[in-house]
Structure 1
């Protein structure tokens, strides 16, 4: 028995999927930075370079978080409108 999802519910699930993908990318990037730190002989990244990379990740994660919050807010408002 398959449950039918509304377009809004599907949209929220898609946003969660996007967030999960972004978090996996963030995890991979952090692991790479840790590996680079352990192998200083191979790469000699300056603190400024690491900070710039982390800032890029922070901006992307903030965008995903904002989209997710908007989806959840829209879903809550939609449910309140249906109950009235």
Structure 2
């Protein structure tokens, strides 16, 4: 059963509701969803091929997937680190003003 378009689309939000970073993250998730759809289509195509071709394709896919996973982890880590730095600046700035 294929997912319908309505289940994969995000609710409409205006640019005023989101920060640029949040919009970028949503855009990346949308791009990821499209890539997952392409992956599902490719896997359907590969299902009809001989086993050796499937194994070669899966090895290549595994390499690409691990690279994407590593990049995603690094991006999330970077965002969390930036938020901690930003929060630290906010807390540090309010403490200096109280003295």
Shorter-chain TM range is 0.5 to 0.7
Equivalent position of 1:12 in the other structure: 25
* Rounded Cα–Cα distance in structure 1 between residues aligned with 2:64 and 2:27: 16
* Rounded Cα–Cα distance in structure 2 between residues aligned with 1:16 and 1:62: 17
Equivalent position of 1:76 in the other structure: 80
CA, structure 1 residues 66+12, in 2 after alignment: closer, same or farther (shift >3 Å)? farther
Q: How many residues align?
A: 74
Tell me how large the CA RMSD over aligned residues is: 2.1
Q: Which TM-score applies when normalising by structure 1?
A: 0.67
* Rounded Cα–Cα distance in structure 1 between residues aligned with 2:71 and 2:30: 12
Where relative contact order (Cα < 8 A, 6+ residues apart) is larger, the structure is 1
Q: Which TM-score applies when normalising by structure 2?
A: 0.59
Unaligned runs of 5+ in 1: 37-44
Larger-Rg structure: 2
Q: CA deviation at 1:61?
A: 1.9
